[in-house]
Chains A and B, each alone.
Chain A
Amino acid sequence: MLRLEPRSTQSFAAAWLSPVMALVLTAITGGVIFLAMGKDPSTALYIYFIEPLTTTSGLSEVAVKAGPLILIGVGLSFGFRAGVWNIGAEGQYIAGAIVGGGLAVYFYESESTLLLPAMLVFGMLGGMAWAAVPALLKTRFNANEILVSLMLVYVAELLLVHLVQGPWRNPQGWGFPGTRMFPDVAIMPLLFSGKRAHLGTLITLAVPFIAWFILAQTRFGFTVRVFGSAPLAARHAGVHGHRIIWHSLLIGGGLAGLAGVIEATSTIGQLMPNISPGYGFTAIIVAFLGRLHPVGVLLAGIAIAVTYIGGEGAQISAGLPKAVTGLFQGIILFYLLAFDLFTRYKIILPSRRTAAQ
């Protein structure tokens, strides 16, 4: 029998090899699934994983899609490190879009250049407010933050639907659910003409490095790391659990809210019911795939964005249902979690064990 022996420290090589292995094995599994669906696996895999990277517009689209995933993923990784399970980022994203986008709905004739920055700030605050509910209920009443934050996703979705169908509906929208189009000053400037990559994409790329600095260099980053790896030791050292819960949720919610308002002010340009293709949930996978490390999250966000764009391409050119993307995301996480065994344990072969004894 094989035997497991705990490692004294996590294996660095195994920790970073497992996401790569997970991606490779997901591609292989994907090939099998395509074969079972009667599609040519090599063509389908090419469309999914390679084609988005072959054109400049494809790359631009990947950057646009990766943006919200990275922002939310970085935010969540703080909490996940500390054992605070905020899985309602989808709701915080929507709340950010509502609060930030609401400014543009009320000032729809504005020509002020301050509108966009104000919207970004309001978006962050909206996401933080939405995340403050599970933080408050957890610290004050011990209510499980997983369930509370998740329930608030449904509440946020319904609130958005209500707003865009009712009080905020575009009076010139022929009854379609959706607000007025935002004024030009509330739209993210494009980086290149003809491509959808925008200023928000740049903000997104900067955030992981800021987060890396905070995690590695500040006292707060240190407490997050200690609290995650040794909660008991952290408590003895005077780290307050409640404070970690508040900080984790506010950071996660703030960045999710920022992602929501950036999305509303860039690719969409208004508020409407489907402002998220599940970014808040996919970002959970991105956070894990990136090993809860800001720079890892950056890479993972790009990798997962490729499958999103590939999924859209496959839907158009190969008639594959979009749901395949979601299936792939689940499978990636399964493989990753399985491989993590090797970062925490050594596999001892029986022959070596007898030799040692």
Chain B
Amino acid sequence: MTELIIASMMTMMTAATPLMFAATGELICERSGVLNLGVEGMMLIGAVFGFATAAVTGNASLGLLAAGASGILASLIFAFLTLTMLSNQVATGLALTIFGTGLSALVGFDYVGETIDRIAAIHLPVLSDLPVVGPLLFGHDPLVYLSFILLIGVALFLNRSRWGMILKAVGDSDVSAHAIGYPVVLIRYAAVAFGGLMAGLGGGYLSLVYTPLWAENMTAGRGWIALALVVFASWRPERVLFGAILFGGITILQLNAQAAGLGIPAAFMSMLPYIATIVVLVLISRDVVRIRLNAPACLGRPFRAER
């Protein structure tokens, strides 16, 4: 029984990790005032380029680098259109997701059914062999730890650093930030690129560690769930952790329930994460004041310097 619980908690973390990456990145992006609905597309792009690189070079770490880099490149298309060409952020984000779905299917065409060596779990002498706490604390793959470190880093950056304050100022009042002399557009470019990096890594995690293989549309809505997580977290990084683990838990619950054969049709169990997302959104959003206080005031609004 303990073994089953430990195994479930381990898989819960691996299910939560791609969401943590993507949601942390999108959180920074939205805090700068930019709503990027292209997370799903960037995750798919990261997943396919990460997998293809790992398959060609035989090196999963290189694959991870490629996943992050391709995520950045994809996000820069979005940044150019919304920040330089002042296009509508909602429409452009949707375009990025459609583009990413098509591009990843095209690039991944030759890799369907191929296998790679996944990034292995770490093994520390003594520590990883401890009962219960060993696997739970010291037995994950390196990316689980990386996602935690990046999340903590982002929390410290936003709450403690000068540049974090500036980023929030840009998201809350672009006009005043510009008037004080901060490069609003440049800061937003950087925030969007960070979002792209993290979405790419989240996608890479799916194809390099979680499955590990490439299949068309393999993100299955995780990019959209990550967007919902940012709302759930009320734009606070520390709350992203709870959200991601909650959704990781729902995924595992659903898989275990299917395996246990409770008589509920599999399709209904598979609906759980999506329905849970809707429920969570409703519970959080019904408090209009709270959303208004926490959401970046300039979220989704284009900014053009008046000279």
Q: Is A344's CB within 8 Å of the partner chain B?
A: yes
In the bound complex, do residue B98 and residue A326 qualify as a contact, i.e. CB atoms below 8 Å apart? yes
In the bound complex, do residue A333 and residue B106 qualify as a contact, i.e. CB atoms below 8 Å apart? no
In the bound complex, do residue A323 and residue B286 qualify as a contact, i.e. CB atoms below 8 Å apart? no
A341 to B81, CA, bound (A): 9
Q: Is B71's CB within 8 Å of the partner chain A?
A: no
A147 to B91, CA, bound (A): 14
List the B side residues contacting A154 at CB < 8 Å.
220-221, 271, 274
Q: What sequence of 0s and 1s flags, for each residue 301-322 of chain A, a beta carbon within 8 Å of any chain B beta carbon?
A: 0000000000000000000011
A143 to B94, CA, bound (A): 19
Q: How far is the CB of B271 from chain A (nearest CB, A)?
A: 5
In the bound complex, do residue B99 and residue A330 qualify as a contact, i.e. CB atoms below 8 Å apart? yes
Chain B residue nearest to A37 in the complex (CB): B106
Q: Is B109's CB within 8 Å of the partner chain A?
A: yes
Q: Which of B92-132 contact A (CB under 8 A)?
A: 92, 94-96, 98-103, 105-106, 109
In the bound complex, do residue B267 and residue A158 qualify as a contact, i.e. CB atoms below 8 Å apart? yes
In the bound complex, do residue B221 and residue A324 qualify as a contact, i.e. CB atoms below 8 Å apart? no
Q: How far is the CB of A333 from chain B (nearest CB, A)?
A: 4
In the bound complex, do residue A144 and residue B231 qualify as a contact, i.e. CB atoms below 8 Å apart? yes
The SS class assigned to the B binding surface is: helix
In the bound complex, do residue B106 and residue A324 qualify as a contact, i.e. CB atoms below 8 Å apart? yes
List the B side residues contacting A325 at CB < 8 Å.
102
Binds A, one of B21-29, B82-90, B175-183, B205-213: B82-90
Instruction: Give how many A residues have a beta carbon under 8 Å from the other chain's beta carbons.
Output: 47
Q: What sequence of 0s and 1s flags, for each residue 76-97 of chain A, a beta carbon within 8 Å of any chain B beta carbon?
A: 0000000001010000000000
A326 to B102, CA, bound (A): 4
A322 to B220, CA, bound (A): 19
A155 to B274, CA, bound (A): 7
Q: Is B37's CB within 8 Å of the partner chain A?
A: yes
Chain A residue nearest to B216 in the complex (CB): A323
Q: Knowing A143-B285, A337-B95 are in contact, say whether A151-B109 is a contact too (CB < 8 A).
A: no
Q: Which of B115-159 contact A (CB under 8 A)?
A: none
Q: Is A203's CB within 8 Å of the partner chain B?
A: no
Q: What sequence of 0s and 1s flags, for each residue 148-191 of chain A, a beta carbon within 8 Å of any chain B beta carbon?
A: 10111011001101100110000000000000000000000000
List the A side residues contacting B41 at CB < 8 Å.
330
Q: Is B173's CB within 8 Å of the partner chain A?
A: no
In the bound complex, do residue A4 and residue B81 qualify as a contact, i.e. CB atoms below 8 Å apart? no
Binds B, one of A101-109, A207-215, A238-246, A280-288: A280-288
List the B side residues contacting A151 at CB < 8 Å.
221, 224, 228, 274-275, 277-278
Q: Which of A50-78 contact B (CB under 8 A)?
A: none
A265 to B278, CA, bound (A): 31
A327 to B265, CA, bound (A): 35
In the bound complex, do residue A337 and residue B87 qualify as a contact, i.e. CB atoms below 8 Å apart? yes
A326 to B94, CA, bound (A): 13
Q: Which of B199-248 contact A (CB under 8 A)?
A: 216, 220-221, 224, 227-228, 231
In the bound complex, do residue A338 and residue B85 qualify as a contact, i.e. CB atoms below 8 Å apart? yes
Q: Is A142's CB within 8 Å of the partner chain B?
A: yes
In the bound complex, do residue B270 and residue A158 qualify as a contact, i.e. CB atoms below 8 Å apart? yes
Q: Is B257's CB within 8 Å of the partner chain A?
A: no
Chain A residue nearest to B110 in the complex (CB): A321
Q: Is B56's CB within 8 Å of the partner chain A?
A: no
Q: How far is the CB of A184 from chain B (nearest CB, A)?
A: 30
A158 to B266, CA, bound (A): 9
In the bound complex, do residue A144 and residue B274 qualify as a contact, i.e. CB atoms below 8 Å apart? no
In the bound complex, do residue B102 and residue A329 qualify as a contact, i.e. CB atoms below 8 Å apart? yes
Q: Knowing A166-B265, A337-B81 are in contact, say whether A330-B286 is a contact too (CB < 8 A).
A: no
A161 to B37, CA, bound (A): 27
Chain B residue nearest to A147 in the complex (CB): B228
In the bound complex, do residue A281 and residue B98 qualify as a contact, i.e. CB atoms below 8 Å apart? yes
In the bound complex, do residue B268 and residue A337 qualify as a contact, i.e. CB atoms below 8 Å apart? no
Q: Is A192's CB within 8 Å of the partner chain B?
A: no
In the bound complex, do residue B85 and residue A158 qualify as a contact, i.e. CB atoms below 8 Å apart? no
Q: Knowing A147-B227, A151-B221, A151-B278 are in contact, say whether A337-B85 is a contact too (CB < 8 A).
A: yes
List the A side residues contacting B99 at CB < 8 Å.
327, 329-331, 333-334
Offer 15 A-B interface pairs, CB within 8 angstroms, sorted by A.
Answer: A137-B278, A143-B285, A146-B90, A147-B278, A151-B274, A159-B267, A159-B271, A285-B95, A323-B102, A326-B98, A333-B99, A337-B88, A338-B87, A340-B87, A340-B88
Interface residues of B (CB under 8 A from A): 37, 41, 77, 81, 85-88, 90-92, 94-96, 98-103, 105-106, 109, 216, 220-221, 224, 227-228, 231, 265-268, 270-271, 274-275, 277-278, 281-282, 285-286, 288, 291, 304
Please provide the 5 A-B residue pairs with the shortest distance between their CB atoms, ordered closest to farther. A330-B99, A326-B102, A323-B105, A327-B102, A162-B267
